[in-house]
Structure 1
Amino acid sequence: MKRAIAVALTGIVTGIVYVYGREHIPSLPELKANMAFLTATVEDKPLSSALLYFGIYVAVAAFSVPAGTLMTLAGGALFGFWGGLLIVSFASSLGALLAFLVSRLLLHDAVQRRYGSRLARFNDGLKKDGAFFLFTLRLIPVFPFFVVNLVMGLTPVRARTFYWVSQLGMLPATAVYVNAGTQLAQIDNAGDVLSPGILASFALIGVFPWIARLTLAFWKRRKVYSRWRKPKSFDRNLVVIGAGAAGLVSAYIGAAVKAKVTLVEAHKMGGDCLNYGCVPSKALIRSAKLAKQIRNADQYGLLATEPAFSFRRVMRRIHDVIAEVAPHDSVERYEGLGVEVLRGHARIKDPWTVEITHPDGEVQVLTTRAIIIATGASPFVPPLPGIVEVGYLTSDTLWERFADLDVPPERLVVLGGGPIGCELAQSFARLGSSVTQIEMAPRLLVREDDDVSNYALEALQNDGVCVLTGHKALSCEVRDGERALIVEKDGERRRVAFDELICAVGRSPRLKGFGLEELGIPVGRTVETNAYLETIYPNILAAGDVAGPYQFTHTAGHQAWFAAVNALFGTFKKFKADYRVIPWTTFLDPEVARVGLNEQEAREQGIPFEVTRYGIDDLDRAIADGTAHGFVKVLTVPGKDTLLGVTIVGEHAGDLLAEFVLAMKHGLGLNKILSTIHTYPTLAEANKYVAGEWRRAHVSRRVQSFLETFHRHMRGERA
């Protein structure tokens, strides 16, 4: 309310000043007629005249009174070129700064709250290049002075940056007008100052920063490539290294647009997702969930019994599932699409040359216009003393190791409390292993909110998992033939014996052995790329786990589109990778799915939000299915139905999330979801009900009171 009043008062004052000032602006002939008096006044009282002129000019600039041109001409006529230039330059910049600050104070927060998600990329660009864009706008006087001031106040550009860039950028135009003012007698119209030649000069000045920027980029690129000799012709348009999700999609897109593409894979087609990650883990989770349902069949009116199964057959089914999905990612399919698929290890020799060593030792060299690095990631194994000696498994190796076991390992330790660790811990516990899960952080799933972590902890403990959070792994040992992991919490050590140890503490991108070091391509935790997924060599790009910032199959495929299009058509048009709406799911039971911000991220980033929550235990279909647990939690802009983020915990949470992903992607709010018909009875109704909870919380009390009075009147009752 205070801000609204301030906005209204500012608008009124600005309107009064604008209208009053406009009505009392002298014309150019009036100014010329009074020059003798004004000049005499300045000569009699130079300091006070300069200060008065300065103050009036600041007010004119701050309130956008249409007298700037005349005031500038008068400055040159009264104070000469250098004096006028000095006064006008600082007065106009100070007035602009005041308008900027008023816009920022009164409107910035409201605009960012309402349109922040849509303005995210614009804001990021201005944080990086705000001074450059403002400088360009100031150099070209065709852009209205007051519009630039007000609009820039709504952006993240610093006030200090705004001032000095405005001071510098407006100087050329100010000099032209002040100089014209020194010869005021020869000017019949203010428009005479800007001749076609001067306008063309301003346009060239405005374009100059862009030309300079392109020139600088050209020289930087030339310097990067200077030590390499570019081929006159190329064997391929695109070489893709790695046949995981990112590599497969990149190759597919390249072939679809009729480019000549070679896909190189050193190991298995389909990468980690098909062979070690998404596909086998979900097959395991399904078998484990069925075992749990048999064990708890009495909850469905059936006879509960301990599931009888062969662990070997469970593992065989997992490998059968991999084999059934494999044709989707096979050599045959991609060759049928027009992609050349080569088995071997690829190494980049120079920006246009890839050396491929085949399994039989034969070396093949290809030249290519562009290269996409999509080498994926591998499990990270912590360097614990003794871990190699006792032996360990990862999410990559456990599938082969367990393939020939008749029963699951009796005592299993899972090191790591992230999504992979939680999924494996729950599944093996449901299949009969005694599982101990160890996490160094104070809670599981640390990227999620506390209530989600607590739900995951309760679910794991209900399945018999012994969860040790806040425990740091120190070392591994063998004592009397028994393997064990030594952990510590609050200075107290504990020995956890095991038959098998699974390391699930994260994955590290595969960066070594592909020639990146020799080419000088910077690598940190991932390959360093720009917004277009380009490395320091614009024709060498990266996508997927090796590029980050997410390690999901669906984001790898998402990035692959940008990488492939930029690699093949970047000479004409480039596209920045879009990470505004990224969903993900942890396939626990119940599932944990999220898109956008959660509460802890919103607080860390200082983003205001409201929380609306709906408990799935109230949902008819969930009650009928025996899955009445979990919740839908929605974060919205305060007072608005605009979505900031959604977290769902419950049965098929990953599927239910899709509606919110679509809504966030296309700027649809909760009211749109509420007005959409959802089939009864389905789990998807939870999305509509949480929208209803938000709507109920935002019904106007005044409207409710009016309606109550109205209906009382319609019944003929007296108040």
Structure 2
Amino acid sequence: MKKIIVLALLASIVAALVALDAQQYLSPDFYQNLFIEQPLLTAAIFFVVYVIATALSIPGAAALTLIGGAIFGLGWGLLLISFASTIGATLAFLMTRLLLKDWVQAKFGSYLSKINQGMEKDGAFYLFTLRLIPVVPFFVINLVMGLMPIKTWTFYWVSQLGMLAGTAVYVNAGAQLGQLNEISLAGIMTPGLLGSFVLLAIFPWLARTLIAQLKKRSAFKSYSKPKSFDDNLLVIGAGAGGLVSSYIAAATKAKVTLIEKHKMGGDCLNTGCVPSKAIIHAASLAHEAREAKSVGVNVGKVEVDFKQVMQSVHTSINDIEPHDSIERYEGLGVHCMTGSATILNPWTVKIDTEQGTQTRTARNIIIAAGGRPRVLPIPGIEDVGYYTSDTLWEIQEQPKTLLVIGGGPIGCELAQSFQRLGSNVIIVDPATHILGREDDDVVAQVTQQFAQDGISLMTNCKPKLFQMVGQVKQALIETPSGEQTIEFDAMIMAVGREANVKGYGLDNLNIQLDERGNIQVDEYLETSMPGVYAVGDVIGGYQFTHVSAHEAWYASVNALFGHLKKFKADYSVIPWATYTDPQVGRVGLNETDAKAKGIPFEVTKYELKELDRAIVDGQARGFVKVLTVPGKDKILGATIVGAMAGELMAEFVLAMRHGLGLNKILGTIHAYPTMMEANKYVAGEWKRNHAPEKLLSWVEKFHAWRRK
């Protein structure tokens, strides 16, 4: 009944507005003429009109505010408009709450639980921030807040206070305009009017600055800030994100300390990118040696010395290690420390080293603590033992049967490598297919090669139990057709990674984590604690070395120079590669992503079996697939499956980053015969599909006429 009454009342108001020609009440002429004879009636009419316009979310509140300032001046105009806008906003808030809140919360309550908790805890501050910084239109705030668990009185007084400064700026501008007798250059160039325009322009910046200061004051109230600092920047973690952050700080002549408790270079050098690519290289050589007979090169039986393979992996690490060493970074101007860091407050870090314990202070801190492999808590897993991508590189004996849990990029790369080195590999994954983020045609290419290699794929399956039967390791696997027992010699757990968020004092700062347990950062990579930033695997997102380095630029620049200018982290063009054989390279959208996001696209595909270089190299498989805006050559994304896909992606990354379309790639000379020509040929396919048929028919007639 309440909803029916409200709807009937709204219908009556709208009908009355139409009957009374409400448009006239939005004109300055109406109020100017009436104000001369009846100022109080004018104020009353203006107040009611403003309330109704705000309550019904009628566009033009800014114009009405200027009119109010011009008619009533700064003092009375501010008084009228401040209360009218807040009352109108509260009415809009109440109408939305009455009509929609119960339905929205009932239907989407599970999705809104986090938002509801945040609103119940800090709703007043969120609302004040939105009111003070008009990023979101006020009428949208009125309607959305009606759906949230915030008290009506809280909404009213926070809105009254939050909108006051912005209202004053607009009313003042209107008052200055109202003092003009005529519109002329001389009239406009008065100090008062120019000042009001300047105030309008800089108000958002002033508001943001005020909010930032209030946020800092609130966050820092429990801590004592040092009078001076040892460093401009202190970085925790010497992986890719930490190394680049500290390098940028040193390059800009800031004083920076880098703390690492294990080895410089982090996961990428010691347990990730470098060792995995080294073992992939060894496995590729073994595979190529076996396949060489297809072109008449017989090398006999291929024998793999697994211990020497692993030794070569560690040799690769040792050869690259100087690039990330303490000596190199000390030479670049970075103060490096080996020890365990504990953040005590937003500016102070305790470092436990072999020589003892010390503390250092810094104006800003960057957390680059990385991540670690996730391990599923399956019964019996500790009894049988397992490797992860962190611990695998200490293995000395090649397993006869290797069980790989997880069919993502890491699991697939390691599985194929061990299979080609001589192990019998079984992949178990709960998804319907491996490489779950890739398109079906991509998965089909890799799956076909895995079958040729002899890898056993158990998709849509998951391990239920591990156990030791005598000296034999067994896994009980739940499959669509029932339970199956598998015997194995060694197991790799490759089911993703999780952030390192414990052991270095995050609790001391009450830094917020997201629903997946990653450190939560804003668009500038700043955590919930002002002045403390985070990059890399510890914040989730794209967990690639090159993305960590990319984020490090933004975090370090914002930390060092954010008081002057801040930069939002740009994730618009992120490439990645999976180093299976065939390789899979991607940038931007693929078909799966585009469909999920409802983005229209066209697909152009070029098969590598048509490419001369691929044919002579025995790599005539795979394809280049490009998604474009329908009817245009603008690239939305590209996927390459085949030899050297990771390298071939670079051209599409460059094109997307700088807004170049397929026509530009087609018009670029590519050396022959190279794999890179595939990029040009896919652009040519797009061009043929978009040939101007009508124009070509006229050209054909022209040529025919020329032959007569």
Bin for the TM-score computed over the shorter chain = 0.7 to 0.9
Give the secondary structure class of the aligned counterpart of 1:296: helix
Q: Tell me, in whole angstroms, the C-alpha distance in 1 between the residues paired with 2:182 and 2:431.
A: 74
Q: Tell me, in whole angstroms, the C-alpha distance in 2 between the residues paired with 1:180 and 1:581.
A: 47
Q: Tell me, in whole angstroms, the C-alpha distance in 1 between the residues paired with 2:130 and 2:503.
A: 41
C-alpha deviation, 1:700, in angstroms? 2.0
Moved more, 326-335 or 568-577: 568-577
Give the secondary structure class of the aligned counterpart of 1:678: coil
Q: Tell me, in whole angstroms, the C-alpha distance in 1 between the residues paired with 2:315 and 2:675.
A: 30
State yes or no: 1:483 paired with 2:473: yes
Q: Tell me, in whole angstroms, the C-alpha distance in 1 between the residues paired with 2:269 and 2:174.
A: 71
Answer yes or no: is the 8 Å Cα contact 1:670–1:691 preserved in 2. Answer: yes
Q: Tell me, in whole angstroms, the C-alpha distance in 2 between the residues paired with 1:488 and 1:594.
A: 32
Paired position in structure 2 for 1:612: 604
Paired position in structure 2 for 1:505: 495
| Aligned AA (1:310) | D
C-alpha deviation, 1:176, in angstroms? 9.4
Paired position in structure 2 for 1:392: 386
| 1:290-338 superposed Cα distances (whole Å, 9 cap, x missing partner) | 1111111122232264312311111111111111111101111111112
Paired position in structure 1 for 2:559: 567
Q: 2:222 aligns with which of 222, 227, 235?
A: 227
| Aligned AA (2:496) | G
Give the secondary structure class of the aligned counterpart of 1:279: helix
C-alpha deviation, 1:508, in angstroms? 1.3
Paired position in structure 2 for 1:18: none
State yes or no: 1:364 paired with 2:358: yes
C-alpha deviation, 1:83, in angstroms? 3.0
Query: Identity of aligned pairs, percent?
Result: 48
| 1:1-39 superposed Cα distances (whole Å, 9 cap, x missing partner) | xxxxxxxxxxxxxxxxxxxxxxxxxxxxxxxxxxxxxxx
State yes or no: 1:667 paired with 2:659: yes
Q: 1:250 aligns with which of 240, 245, 255?
A: 245
Give the secondary structure class of the aligned counterpart of 1:459: helix
Q: 1:54 aligns with which of 4, 17, 21?
A: 21
Q: Tell me, in whole angstroms, the C-alpha distance in 1 between the residues paired with 2:424 and 2:15.
A: 89
Q: 2:629 aligns with which of 637, 650, 657?
A: 637
Q: Tell me, in whole angstroms, the C-alpha distance in 2 between the residues paired with 1:287 and 1:457.
A: 21
Paired position in structure 1 for 2:318: 323
C-alpha deviation, 1:409, in angstroms? 1.0
State yes or no: 1:82 paired with 2:44: yes
C-alpha deviation, 1:561, in angstroms? 1.1
| Aligned AA (1:712) | A
Q: Tell me, in whole angstroms, the C-alpha distance in 2 between the residues paired with 1:710 and 1:319.
A: 69
Moved more, 218-227 or 79-88: 79-88
Residue segments in structure 1 that go unaligned for 5+ positions in a row: 1-46, 62-67, 98-127, 140-151
Q: 2:548 aligns with which of 556, 576, 581?
A: 556
Q: Tell me, in whole angstroms, the C-alpha distance in 1 between the residues paired with 2:129 and 2:303.
A: 66
| Aligned AA (2:304) | F
Give the secondary structure class of the aligned counterpart of 1:394: coil
C-alpha deviation, 1:713, in angstroms? 1.6
| 1:609-664 superposed Cα distances (whole Å, 9 cap, x missing partner) | 11111111100000010001101111111111111111110100000000000011
Answer yes or no: is the 8 Å Cα contact 2:413–2:579 preserved in 1. Answer: yes
| 1:116-163 superposed Cα distances (whole Å, 9 cap, x missing partner) | xxxxxxxxxxxx999769958999xxxxxxxxxxxx9xxxx89978xx
Answer yes or no: is the 8 Å Cα contact 1:76–1:180 preserved in 2. Answer: no
Paired position in structure 2 for 1:237: 232
| Aligned AA (1:386) | G
| Aligned AA (1:687) | N
Paired position in structure 2 for 1:271: 266
Answer yes or no: is the 8 Å Cα contact 2:176–2:193 preserved in 1. Answer: no
Paired position in structure 1 for 2:574: 582
Q: Tell me, in whole angstroms, the C-alpha distance in 1 between the residues paired with 2:409 and 2:228.
A: 47
| 1:442-462 superposed Cα distances (whole Å, 9 cap, x missing partner) | 111111111112222112111
Answer yes or no: is the 8 Å Cα contact 2:129–2:211 preserved in 1. Answer: no
Paired position in structure 2 for 1:649: 641
Answer yes or no: is the 8 Å Cα contact 2:279–2:313 preserved in 1. Answer: yes
Paired position in structure 1 for 2:707: 715
Q: 2:339 aligns with which of 340, 344, 354?
A: 344
Q: Tell me, in whole angstroms, the C-alpha distance in 2 between the residues paired with 1:493 and 1:136.
A: 56
The alpha-carbon distance between structure 1 residues 333 and 511, as it changes in their structure 2 partners (threshold 3 A), is same
Q: Tell me, in whole angstroms, the C-alpha distance in 2 between the residues paired with 1:563 and 1:701.
A: 51
Give the secondary structure class of the aligned counterpart of 1:289: helix
Residue segments in structure 2 that go unaligned for 5+ positions in a row: 1-13, 62-126, 145-158
| Aligned AA (1:368) | A
Give the secondary structure class of the aligned counterpart of 2:673: coil
Give the secondary structure class of the aligned counterpart of 2:699: helix
The alpha-carbon distance between structure 1 residues 305 and 82, as it changes in their structure 2 partners (threshold 3 A), is farther
Answer yes or no: is the 8 Å Cα contact 1:72–1:88 preserved in 2. Answer: no
User: How does the TM-score come out when normalised to structure 1?
Assistant: 0.77
Answer yes or no: is the 8 Å Cα contact 1:73–1:180 preserved in 2. Answer: no
Q: Tell me, in whole angstroms, the C-alpha distance in 2 between the residues paired with 1:202 and 1:531.
A: 30
Q: Tell me, in whole angstroms, the C-alpha distance in 1 between the residues paired with 2:452 and 2:537.
A: 33
Answer yes or no: is the 8 Å Cα contact 1:633–1:648 preserved in 2. Answer: yes
Q: Tell me, in whole angstroms, the C-alpha distance in 2 between the residues paired with 1:136 and 1:516.
A: 31
Paired position in structure 2 for 1:547: 539
Q: 1:410 aligns with which of 378, 397, 400?
A: 400
State yes or no: 1:295 paired with 2:290: yes
Give the secondary structure class of the aligned counterpart of 1:393: coil
The alpha-carbon distance between structure 1 residues 398 and 88, as it changes in their structure 2 partners (threshold 3 A), is closer
Answer yes or no: is the 8 Å Cα contact 1:76–1:179 preserved in 2. Answer: no
The alpha-carbon distance between structure 1 residues 441 and 540, as it changes in their structure 2 partners (threshold 3 A), is same
The alpha-carbon distance between structure 1 residues 366 and 267, as it changes in their structure 2 partners (threshold 3 A), is same
C-alpha deviation, 1:199, in angstroms? 6.7
1:118-157 pair list within 5 angstroms: 135=134
C-alpha deviation, 1:211, in angstroms? 3.2
Answer yes or no: is the 8 Å Cα contact 2:176–2:196 preserved in 1. Answer: no
| Aligned AA (2:344) | K
| 1:409-454 superposed Cα distances (whole Å, 9 cap, x missing partner) | 1010011100000000001101110000111111111111111122
The alpha-carbon distance between structure 1 residues 494 and 436, as it changes in their structure 2 partners (threshold 3 A), is same
C-alpha deviation, 1:228, in angstroms? 1.0
Answer yes or no: is the 8 Å Cα contact 2:31–2:42 preserved in 1. Answer: no
Answer yes or no: is the 8 Å Cα contact 2:304–2:422 preserved in 1. Answer: no
| Aligned AA (2:691) | V
Moved more, 695-704 or 299-308: 299-308
Q: Tell me, in whole angstroms, the C-alpha distance in 1 between the residues paired with 2:512 and 2:198.
A: 39
Paired position in structure 1 for 2:594: 602
| 1:54-91 superposed Cα distances (whole Å, 9 cap, x missing partner) | 36659xx9xxxxxx655664676798443366558878
Give the secondary structure class of the aligned counterpart of 1:502: strand
How many residue pairs get aligned? The number is 607
The alpha-carbon distance between structure 1 residues 136 and 623, as it changes in their structure 2 partners (threshold 3 A), is closer
Answer yes or no: is the 8 Å Cα contact 1:487–1:494 preserved in 2. Answer: yes
